[in-house]
Amino acid sequence: MEDFSKYAHSSAHLAVARRDYAALRNIVSTLPRVAKAGEVNTEEESLAAEVQADAISAVIDRRDVPGRETPLHLAVRLRDPVSAEILMAAGADWSLQNENGWSALQEAVCNREESIAMIIARHYQPLAWAKWCRRLPRIVASATRIRDFYMEITFHFESTVIPFIGRIAPSDTYRIWKRGSNLRADMTLAGFDGFRIQRSDQTFLFLGEGYSSEDGNVNLQPGSLIVLAHKEKEITNALEGAGAQPTEAEVAHEVALMSQTNMYRPGIDVTQAELISHLNWRRQERTEMVGNWKAKVYDMLHVMVSVKSRRVPGAMTDEELFSVDDEERTANGENNDEYDDVLTAEERMQLDSALRMGNSDGPCEDDEHGVVECQENGEANGVSKDKKSWFGWNKKGSKNAGDDPEDSKILKKFSKLAPEGSNHKALDHQKSTSEFPKEDMGDSKRGKDKSSKKKKKKGPTSETKHESEYKKGLRPVLWLTPDFPLKTDELLPLLDILANKVKAVRRLRELLTTKLPHGTFPVKVAIPIVPTIRVLVTFTKFEELQPSEEFSTPLSSPAHFQDAKSKDSEGSVSWISWMRGSRGGQSSDSDSHRYKDEVDPFLIPSDYTWVDANEKKRRLKAKKAKSKKHRKQAAARNGEGTTHQASEEVEE
């Protein structure tokens, strides 16, 4: 029997607890109406719509109750689909976390409440799109007020004990242009699989001002986000169909996918972060030159990365999931010893030793590289495998994340949308990233601490058997300068556009959310991966762009421009090479300056082919069918091999 007294101060909670649907509908009817897509067109209207949204959230999303449950969480726990439908129709934020760090949708899936999970899944796509549309005018206006610039950010790995790390570890230089409310990012690094490089020459174009080609064949609305794949010469609209109501088949498929794998919630907590300056031999603050900027060096203490896992009844075990993954890799002809062609046997042993050091069981601390490990008690359902992918770059680990937006076909459309603001304490990468809600990581941390205390007091419980949490302490190193032309608060909204598409940018954004000394900017960040390996993120270049009207857009088409450039000396770089970006290297000052002057970076190539959502679905279906066929063939070959081996043993 629910104790109603603890909900006396919250009318929405009380109505849900009592199953008083008439009262709940009456509460919802008195709230302001949520602005729909297309109704907000100016910055003033956007600000007003946000005020209305906050007023709605203050009633139906409040968490000042035991367990920090929203009314939607309570409806899930009470197995009440009627209340869940009323709340979701009113615009409830399903992604907010309770004190244990789980959203209402995750709770519904873990409790096998498929009807409630489908209600939430049916509503969250239109709600996310409406939220994006009402914030878009404010995002565009904010971007316009920031100075126009060209910037380069490099990502590469280094190791104190593995000199050959540069040959196998991924690296890239991200080139970013900002002009008006338009943003362009060129990159060649799509992602990581352990240390396997996933290359993809691509460009992200956020067109806050819209786009119209000279021939009139291409017209894009303001706020469009497109992706240019340069190798395939294809263009996709990342937000195509984002506002469409999902079909019942899509909703059922989405919920079924969530139920097939266990829940994983990786996150990084910087709420307790503290900066300690490096001292030189004179006991003075250590300074270094990073690019053109003089920076002081700091250690960042008390940063915690965690992976929380939760068993979903009836879902595949981690071993089964990994087995399927291994079969797919084998069927696709992938060799597990992918480093054998670039490393000697001795170097391979050094690499394996370093990775084992980073994934060893039990607590360990490395003062020099700033890695600390710990694990909460509870039955670890594949936690040892989580350790190997705690930084989110291991394919097996990321594939586990049934609640990760990158593994969700429907929510992929929203993985590029910008978050609410730059006041995040930290982020948890789960489905909530599709809407970028305001997440209180401090609350989540307190919830985890409380959960840990409960486990220690009560001993093994049913919850303990199904939940586990792995934590790793980090000690990043930051190079801070007061001279960088951009402020952190100015850069964060721009990184938000890329953060959920590019993991390296996402990790950088998380660290930037901590409180840095006033007026400073981190021009370089070193993030430990394992005790002997770290990734370096460096802002290597920043140049203000000339006003847009002074850009000299070439008169000919991009293809003709490329042909003209090819007639120059061999040392010149073609237009298409500039479009693709360098493979981990940095362009010279003269090269980057020349191309910024000669070519409009926001020009869409006319010889590229547009690929719509239906074509992408067709390709995905064909890829799945091919993978399934390969798995069957591999299984058949394995069966024949086993039979042949058994017959030989019988003959002997």
pLDDT in tens, 349-386: 656 665 555 544 443 344 444 444 444 433 333 333 33
Looking at residues 539-560, what average pLDDT do you find? 61
Cβ 502 vs Cβ 336: under 8 Å: no
Q: Which residue has the higher pLDDT, 393 or 256?
A: 256
Res. 20: pLDDT tops 50: yes
Question: pLDDT tens-digit profile of 73-123?
Answer: 999 999 999 999 999 999 999 999 999 889 999 999 999 999 999 999 999
| pLDDT at position 145 over 80 | yes
Q: Are 173 and 152 in contact (CB under 8 A)?
A: yes
| Confidence at 481, pLDDT banded by 50, 70, 90 | very high
pTM: 0.69
CA distance 252 to 117: 9
Arithmetic mean of pLDDT, 288-294: 93
Fill in the DSSP letter of residue 406.
Answer: G
- Stated as kind and residue range, the H or E segment containing 479 is strand 477-481
Tokens found for residue 170:
């991924």
User: Using one digit for the tens of pLDDT, what is the confidence trace for 37-54?
Assistant: 889 999 999 999 999 999
Q: Which residue has the higher pLDDT, 213 or 293?
A: 293
pLDDT over 50 at 603, yes or no: yes
Provide the pLDDT confidence category of residue 70 given band limits of 50, 70 and 90: very high
**Among 65-69, 292-296, 600-604, whose mean pLDDT is lowest?**
600-604
pLDDT at 479 over 70: yes
394, 24, 19: which is closest to 194 by C-alpha?
A: 394
Residue type at 512 in one-letter notation: L
- Distance CA(264)–CA(247), nearest Å, equals 27
Closest CA to 579 of 204, 183, 239: 204
The residue among 177 and 495 whose pLDDT is bigger is 177
Most confidently modeled range among 290-304, 414-428, 544-558: 290-304
**Beta-bridge partners for 539:** 153
What distance in Å separates the CA atoms of residue 44 and residue 584, rounded to the nearest whole number? 42
Residue 649: what pLDDT? 55
Cα separation of 86 and 20, whole Å? 11
Handedness of CA 132, 136, 138, 143 (dihedral sign): positive
Predicted local confidence at residue 508, as pLDDT: 74
Predicted confidence at residue 52, as pLDDT, reads 93
Q: Kindly state the DSSP code that residue 320 receives in the 8-state scheme.
A: H
Average pLDDT over residues 255-275: 84
Q: Are 6 and 69 in contact (CB under 8 A)?
A: no
Q: What is the mean pLDDT of the chain?
A: 72
Is the per-residue pLDDT at 445 higher than 60?
A: no
- What's the confidence (pLDDT) of residue 502? 63
Cβ proximity of 312 and 110 under 8 Å = yes
Instruction: Tell me what pLDDT residue 566 has.
Output: 39
Which H or E element spans position 289?
A: strand 287-290
Q: pLDDT at residue 310 above 70?
A: yes
Cα 421 to Cα 158, 364, 492, distances in angstroms: 32, 36, 8
Q: What is the pLDDT of residue 391?
A: 34
What pLDDT score was predicted for residue 408? 37
Report the SS3 class of residue 40. Answer: coil
pLDDT at 553: 41
CA 573 to chain centre: 33
Give the H/E segment covering residue 83.
helix 81-89
Per-residue pLDDT at 56 exceeds 80: yes
pLDDT greater than 80 at residue 138:
yes
Pairing of strands 224-229, 234-237: antiparallel
- Give percent of the chain with pLDDT exceeding 70: 62
Percent of the chain with pLDDT over 90: 26
Looking at residues 547-573, what average pLDDT do you find?
41
Q: Which residue has the higher pLDDT, 222 or 172?
A: 222
Mean pLDDT of 608-629: 79
Which phi-psi region, left, alpha or beta, contains residue 240 (left: φ > 0; alpha: ψ -120 to 50)?
beta
pLDDT at residue 105, rounded to an integer:
94
Burial of 462 (0-12, 13-18, 19+ CB in 10 A): exposed
pLDDT at 122: 94
The answer to whether residues 152 and 540 touch, using CB atoms and an 8 Å cutoff, is: yes
Q: Is 149 or 559 the better-scoring residue by pLDDT?
A: 149
Q: What per-residue confidence (pLDDT) applies to 109?
A: 92
Rounded Cα distance between 122 and 120, Å, is 5
Pairing of strands 234-237, 609-611: parallel
What are 543's strand-pairing partners?
150
* Burial class of residue 51 (count of CB atoms within 10 Å of its CB; 0-12, 13-18, 19+): exposed
Q: Would you call 276 exposed, middle or buried from its count of C-beta atoms within 10 A (0-12, 13-18, 19+)? A: exposed
491's tokens: 């850069």
Sheet with strand 467-474: strands edge to edge: 263-269, 303-310, 467-474, 371-375, 365-366
Tell me what pLDDT residue 393 has. 34
Query: What tokens were used for 200?
Result: 């993809």
Cα(26)–Cα(606) distance, rounded to whole angstroms? 54
Query: What pLDDT shows up at residue 323?
Result: 60
Over range 228-250, report the average pLDDT: 87
Strand partners, 207: 182, 224
